[in-house]
């Protein structure tokens, strides 16, 4: 029987008033078994529900009096009560196989569950999708979904997924689109395998067979030092340039045929090929922001104040939902505002009105090597010699892994150990989950105090704003000394 364990009960909530306790095992709502947090939210929104719980091995029925639409106030231990539908593909490029040992256990979960695609934006290959899944998606409106395509040719896709169903499972993509489900696609490009003519056939095939797709992200293969597959290797600059040219050719055709670009190359391709990023307008509403599509332009709009909102899913990789935590490698790693304040270890004296005044000292911005290339021209516009970038080489993963979200505590500590004391060090929240780095290190363990900042341009700009009356001298240096930005 599917069930979930209650890990928190909100004070003053209907659940607390009814006597629900932490540790109770939630089995059903109003007589209906609950498979996941989706059903939990739907059934729990009804007025006056009955919760069947198991407490100390004893089954109890608890009546909860409440109005329709009022949350129960329960947080459970998992979004999926009947277990995660694990992936039965064996993709050579799967990053789960490339993780170093000793990291958080949840990172090694390899899922292919359409429910996590709906809840958190995880990509599914649809190789385990069924007719009953399609019925539920359509009848319950579980949209949007995120689908890994990789190739449209049946034999190529089967080879990439190492699964004979890989060549036929895209029929479910066609079915989803036929039923009006919003779907975002992804193509992970592996040099020498599905690039070149295969990529051309794939993108033109998508335009021909699946024109209803909301968009398609073309992203580069990530290769860590722990990659066990001999065919997998990073792109060369020339290969990256070829990918960009192919994508842009298909984009032009999509604009003509569909009135929208649809296909986008990841920012990393433009960095690798040393090309300027497309204009911000090319990315529409930045729907694939969290897949590395348009992140640089979005950050620029935020940092320069040209966007009045935070673009994309912020902070972290993917959105969360009330009631249950995200799970797996692609789960959100950002922290809410209150948690960020708690995680900040830099010493900031309180102002007279109770607000926090950040001391005006030289600033080091911790970021991944790829993030540093995006931030460098933006930080230069400040004219602040006391603000510098601190790229953190990813020695834990190695290979071509240079994104900020995969920075680990050990690597950050190595960089900070060589930095002077007394400076401010800004750490983006995207590399933390529940206050810990991927390797289990916490900010308090670092050799220098850090300030954890939300991973968006507006938050970084705000963190760098001079504090009125804090004593800034000329040229951006503190009034009590020249400082040393090096």
User: What is the spatial order of strands in the sheet that 183-189 belongs to?
Assistant: 145-148, 183-189, 215-220, 263-265
The whole-number pLDDT of residue 289 equals 85
Is the pLDDT higher at 222 or at 333? 222
Q: What is the percent of the chain where pLDDT is above 90?
A: 69
Query: Over 90: is that where the pLDDT of 398 sits?
Result: yes
Whether pTM exceeds 0.75? yes
The stretch 468-476 carries a mean pLDDT of 41
Which phi and psi (to 5°) does residue 355 adopt? -75, 165
pLDDT confidence tier of residue 465, bands split at 50, 70 and 90: confident
Q: Would you state the CATH architecture of domain 95-303?
A: Alpha-Beta Barrel (3.20)
123 Cβ neighbours under 8 A, 6+ residues apart: 117, 146, 147, 148, 186, 330
Tens-place pLDDT, residues 72-117: 999 888 889 998 898 999 999 998 888 888 777 777 888 899 999 9
Please tell us whether the domain made up of 4-76 is placed in CATH 2.40.10.340.
Answer: no
Domain borders along the chain are 4-76, 95-303, 337-476
Mean residue pLDDT of the chain comes to 86
Q: Is 284 exposed, middle or buried (0-12, 13-18, 19+ CB in 10 A)?
A: middle
The whole-angstrom separation of Cα 266 and Cα 293 is 5
Region 164-182: mean pLDDT is 96
């Amino acid at each position: 029987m599917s069930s979930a364990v209650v890990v928190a009960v909100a004070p003053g909530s209907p659940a607390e008033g009814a006597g629900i306790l932490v540790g109770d095992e939630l089995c059903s709502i109003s007589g209906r078994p609950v498979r996941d947090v989706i059903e939990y939210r739907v059934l729990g929104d009804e007025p006056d529900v009955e919760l069947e719980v198991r407490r100390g091995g004893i089954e109890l029925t608890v009546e909860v009096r409440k109005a329709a639409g009022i949350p129960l106030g329960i947080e459970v231990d998992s979004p999926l009560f009947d277990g995660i539908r694990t992936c039965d593909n064996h993709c050579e490029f799967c990053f789960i196989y490339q993780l170093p040992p000793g990291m958080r256990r949840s990172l090694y979960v390899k899922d292919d569950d359409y429910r996590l695609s709906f809840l958190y934006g995880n990509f599914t290959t649809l190789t385990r999708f069924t007719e009953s899944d399609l019925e539920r998606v359509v009848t319950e409106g579980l949209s949007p979904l995120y689908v890994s395509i990789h190739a449209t040719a049946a034999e190529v896709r089967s080879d990439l997924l190492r699964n004979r169903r890989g060549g036929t499972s895209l029929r479910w993509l066609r079915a989803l689109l036929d039923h009006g489900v919003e779907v975002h696609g992804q193509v992970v490009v592996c040099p020498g395998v599905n690039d070149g003519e295969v990529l051309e056939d794939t993108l033109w095939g998508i335009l021909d067979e699946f024109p209803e797709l909301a968009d398609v992200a073309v992203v580069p293969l990530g290769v860590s030092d722990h990659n066990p597959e001999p065919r997998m290797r990073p792109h060369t600059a020339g290969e990256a340039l070829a990918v960009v040219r192919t994508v842009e050719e298909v984009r032009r055709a999509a604009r003509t045929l569909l009135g929208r670009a649809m296909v986008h190359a990841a920012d990393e391709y433009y960095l690798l090929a040393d090309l300027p990023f497309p204009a911000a307008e090319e990315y529409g509403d930045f729907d694939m922001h969290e897949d590395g599509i348009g992140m640089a332009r979005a950050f620029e709009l935020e940092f320069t104040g040209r966007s009045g909102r935070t673009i994309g899913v912020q902070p972290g990789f993917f959105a969360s939902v009330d009631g249950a935590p995200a799970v797996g490698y692609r789960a959100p790693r950002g922290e809410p505002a209150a948690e960020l304040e708690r995680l900040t270890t830099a010493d900031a004296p309180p102002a007279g009105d109770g607000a926090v005044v950040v001391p005006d000292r030289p600033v080091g911005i911790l970021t991944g090597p790829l993030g540093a290339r995006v931030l460098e021209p933006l930080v230069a516009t400040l004219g602040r010699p006391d603000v510098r970038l601190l790229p953190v080489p990813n020695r834990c993963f190695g290979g071509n892994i240079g994104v900020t979200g995969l920075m680990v505590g050990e690597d950050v500590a190595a960089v900070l150990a060589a930095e002077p004391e007394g400076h401010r060090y800004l750490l983006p929240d995207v590399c933390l989950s529940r206050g810990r780095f991927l390797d289990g290190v916490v900010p308090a363990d670092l050799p220098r105090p850090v300030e954890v900042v939300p991973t968006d341009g507006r938050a970084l700009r705000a963190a760098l704003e001079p504090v009125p009356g804090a004593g800034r001298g000329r040229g951006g240096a503190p009034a009590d000394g020249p400082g040393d930005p090096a």
